[in-house]
A and B are shown apart, each in its own frame.
Chain A
């Protein structure tokens, strides 16, 4: 039961972070937040007994995509106009 409340907390956290990613003007913060969404999603996948998908989500979503976006921000601009 406690685990289910924890999962609901994680899902709500993902929703809040997703809204923050869309609304914030600081692109670096948005990228970090979207990486955090992937990390939370990988925990949820692990709870749903899909460790393969959880590993993919953690490695690609939280690791590589975040890094590629950070490189792109470094080459362009940090703040949205």
Chain B
């Protein structure tokens, strides 16, 4: 009954070979790329630790308060809640790492001047640093994608209005913008949540510009015209046709940006505008430890290493993703 049944065309052999497409193909390319693979391993490792700290509240006894709720940790000063002091080694402040002559395996990375186990704090620091990095990047990504896609798709005065607004934000140095925003919004009591929003807003411009430039070429594609001719609503054209086809470079940039975000949030915490003590954020830990630099240099080295490894992981992965998503580089 099929009208064109007899007209079988050559060109692709159905059923002979399963061709991998989409995400599977991208993942396969990444697995083949050694550096990208290591990036993926590191990210997986860091994310696994983060996930673990979120599930296991028990370990948090070893730090100040329940770190999965940093607002609470902040609200509960140690003097009022002595029970939250880490049970082991209460008196053992400034214990050096295990490989040191005075160290012990009870505290593999030693303890801080308050007697808190440093290993636990680094592990829980992953939760704060990584989730803040991811959340802020995600915020910038979503905001930037919407702004950029709408501006690029409609063009004209919509484009002018949105892009000029975005460029105004772009003209302000990000750290200053974030600090001013945090101070303004938090009303003098800085909190890591405000830092997330601030960093997210500061990143909207770059994402918006990247996706807009992609959208400008994608919107001229015949399939956009075809969707329009088929009576698809503008909103659905943007969401289903324009954004998915402009997303690859933004995705790569976002992956690379996560590392930068973590660094910026660490910097903010270091300056006192991000996570507040006693929340174990890597940046905050660097900040508190820098006054002990002479007595115990390891307190500064561990969070530094943690930040470095995490950022490197995201960067390696981002580079690999860029290659994997680039159609010009074939396998």
Determine if chain A interacts with chain B.
no
B binding-site residues for A, Cβ under 8 Å? none
